[in-house]
Amino acid sequence: MSAEASPTAPLKLQQTALALIYWEDQKQSAAVVGVGLLWFTLIGWIGYSSVTVLCYAALFHLVARFLYRLGCRILADLNMIQKRPLPEAPTTFVTEEEVLLHLKTVAALVNSTLHAAYTLAVCDCTPLVIKWIFGLYAAALAGKLFGTTGLCFMAFVAAFSLPKLYQHKQAQIDQALQQASEKVVALSVKLGAQAAKYSKEVMSKLPSIPKASDYAAKAATNVKTKAL
């Protein structure tokens, strides 16, 4: 693979994923949705675990390909079909040039992720922290109501329905999201101001702790009084 063609690989992967969720090829999207529904049926209805489904899927794949290769070899030995040589694996799957081409993008992604993680670790009164608080609370409630499998099923259905809905109702959805974002920011600012005001009120009601200098001044005053 040449260096000029290498940047198209992640782009093709991204374009394929977008084509699936936007139903550009209805047959491929329907096949993916069918497999996903079968997956959730086996897990949520029949009661199989995810590990069991993965093992059965990998087992079926290996057995099918093994029988295909074995059948082709037997038929070729009987001169019923032409012998098909096995494709050889490339010596290099990823070159250093291909990695360096995407190193800048990966570094930017890592830095933005670490910056967000640091903001959450410091937990300052920022819109990001408020969004994570409400998001985690909503995820906890959804997990409690629907369970892990139900939550994943809802995310799967949303991935193949919401992007298509957004494509048709982009202006209305953008306006609603902008209004919701403004309300969240305003709420975070209001909560921060109320928290600061409440902390000041609490601190003002607490008894003040005497300083060491106050004790020294009081002791000096007592000594002068006794001397008189």
Is residue 32 assigned to a domain? Answer: yes
Model pTM score = 0.56
Read off the DSSP letter of residue 209: P
Q: Mean pLDDT in the chain?
A: 81
Q: pLDDT of 52-73, one tens digit each? A: 989 999 999 999 999 998 998 8
Answer yes or no: do 137 and 188 share one domain: yes
18 & 86 share domain: yes
Instruction: Determine, yes or no, domain membership for 215.
Output: no
- Assign 171 a pLDDT band (cuts: 50, 70, 90): confident
Would you say residue 213 lies in a domain?
Answer: no
CB 150 within 8 Å of CB 44: yes
Residue 8 has pLDDT above 90, yes or no: no
Domain that holds residue 146: 123-205
User: Is position 41 within any domain?
Assistant: yes
Residues 87 and 5 in one domain: yes
How many domains would you assign to the chain? 2
Among 158, 163, 148, smallest CA distance to 40 is for 148
- pLDDT tier at 212, thresholds 50, 70, 90: low
Which tens digit of pLDDT belongs to each residue from 74-130? 988 888 888 888 878 888 887 888 788 888 888 888 999 998 889 888 887 777 888
Q: What's the gap between Cα 195 and its chain centre? A: 30
